[in-house]
Structure 1
Amino acid sequence: MSRTTDVVVTGLGATTPLGGDVRSTWAAALAGESGARPFEHDWSERYGIPVEFAATIKVKPEDVLERPELKRMDPSAQYAMIAAREAWSDAGSPEVDGERLGAVVSSGIGGIWTTLDGWDLLQEKGARRVLPMTVPMLMPNSPVAYVSLEFGAKAGAHALVSACASGAEAIGYAVDMIRAGRADVVIAGGTEATIHPMPIAAFAASRTLSLRNDDPQGASRPYDVDRDGFVIGEGAGVVVLESAEHAAARGARVYARIAGVGLSADGYHITSPEPSGDGQIRAMRAALAESGVAASDVVHVNAHATSTVVGDLIEARSVRGVLGDDSDHVALSATKSMTGHLLGGAGALETIFTVLALHERQAPPTINVAQPDPELVLDLVRDTPRALPAGDVAAINNSFGFGGHNVALVVTSA
């Protein structure tokens, strides 16, 4: 195979703050619903955490998985397994030699619940009470390890870690696996389960979280003049990718193609994006160049857009810097306004949204934008979905992460 090998999406799976599967999540997104809700815990009162809400998972794993699975998996792996099973079933449970099947499932932070619960147990009850499965549960590759075991993926099981770009980079790596001839089919995506008081306190200390405790559902407001930070979310998104040849041979339904992958690093700051957007621009240009897609063919962008004061506009200017005047016919969506920020799972879920936007010709809305920032230089889809044009069109999904990681994926219609 080669860099010109077509890689297609044949299966989709998710569990999110909007729904327990792709269908319910997508329906809620098109309806402009928010997954943000107040904590079910007394964390704010107990620890003095200034944030009292998050975009928590809609369907709890205990309602889906068997008890033995719950006991041996961190929530990050639980979410990944739920999403992977749905994606595999949605792809028609393809028959493929295990040595031609790969898995790439990433997490930005990993098994934080297992890590911190294990530390508490050690302090309270001593070393003998620490569970023997603690390390296999907390390690960042635990989700992909369980996914590879579940489906017998022997071509490789990988867990790339690039903060909030992890899920998108996992999909990009899966594309490269297929193009390099290492696999015919790859299960790929991202997962995160960090709604725990410690990381929330840490994000709050860095002043990146919204403090709209009186209005959780209105808190994530990308591009609004009153945006004040992101809403932390949790969940997973997983896709099944195949070479177009393999998919055609088995008569698989194809949602879209992942036509181009662009990667770059800012080399600027551990948390802040480079102000000119240079790294983001290079990632998008690389993805477009690899895909062979012209700027005039791009009709939709699913933005990283977390609802931070600085980051949103840097990305918007970067998109215009890449697409130029062709930006005027691009429908921009910022779906974190509804899902919250799934960190390592965000890029994978938003790839699913981008794929469905082209498949169904509907760009999902951005909610909570009462006063668009006057410096926004793009056409934002607000409140209700927008129809996308027919024909051979393309979309870009952007994902950026702490450390200066930039990932752009170009998706084209099937």
Structure 2
Amino acid sequence: MPADLAVIGLGPYGLPLAQAAVAAGIATLGYRTGPEAASLSPAELRRMLSGGFRHATSPAELGRVRTAVICAPTPAGADGGLDLSQVEAAARTLAARLRPHTTVILESPVLPGTTENILRPLLEEGSGLRAGRDFHLAYSPSRVDPGNRAFTPANTPKVIGGFTPACTESAAAFYGRLTDKVVRARGLREAETVQVLETNFRHVNIALVNEMAVLCHDMGVDLWDVIRCAETKPFGFHAFRPGPGVGGHAVPQDLTAHAGRTLRMVELAQQVNSQMPRYVVQRAATLLNEHGKSARGARVLLLGVTYKPDLADQQSTPAQEVAIRLLELGACISYHDPYVPSWSVLERPVPRADALYEAVAEADLTILLQQHRTYDLQGLSVKAQLLLDTRGAAPTGAAHRL
């Protein structure tokens, strides 16, 4: 079966797009750009295959589609910037097979100017074609919220910015098959900057409530009650909640190299959020000390080591640093997570607690790092000798909250 769409990169951005396309009746080809972890259940995979999805067996197949969307990951590089190596490799692979009249769209998180100054030359040089004349080129920020059942690709507006107005319209026509609303940006850079703003908005606001968590604890104020009350305001406020750190695939982005100045709020947010795992361990050590125990030799159970509830994804999870710092204090750590059958820290396997309630009862301290739906926090708090809740999920008074 010929495919209408090629999704290049089947990680956290590409896989949801491929699922949405298949659900919309679009014959879709998937092409891997690296060792992307599959996160589909057998039932989901069967539905996709029966709906017209198939994996590319050869790069040559990329030249037989009308639309190609590059969704390669752009993790943080060694210098703190975005690593574009997988995007560049995907562009070179596609360019060698690119045909006239194809619409090429980039969805990977990038800084403004990347589509025009990096992606376009690679596509043009490798194909001999010209963007805006021989093929359409556009950018659309990925808006994926894994595990969110309320907002799907169909009811989430899609922002489009093209190299030319015709490029914008071609990309809009494609996304119009997937979503109820398409929003046209003025151009490529505007669409790319939408992604920067949305990502930084999350990190800055999480940093604010993380700082509030530390401040309120020092003042003896219940921050969780403060947030509960504040979110009743129907305007001018959007509730964020603190936690042990910020995980996920979206890297906070500074525009220093592009605009000649730093985004100070983003820089400060990164500093605040990066300190939260250390703060969690400080609170843990203090709790143990207050109950006559030392962190050295203490049995500490970590509940939930993924970056998001009810998912197996461990990308940038703060649980890693929390575990490392506990080990540095001499604690004996173990973990439980219904989505993670094995877990290693510093290349050493961490013991997994199979009997959850018995492990909670035996641990000197249990730390809730991720609130999976399967956790009965009322029951666990009864069993636990000490419970530090970093998510504000336990019933009031049942645990020590962040």
Normalised by the size of structure 1, how large is the TM-score? 0.28
Decide which structure has the larger Cα Rg and report it. 2
Greater relative contact order (Cα < 8 A, sep 6+):
1
Normalised by the size of structure 2, how large is the TM-score? 0.29
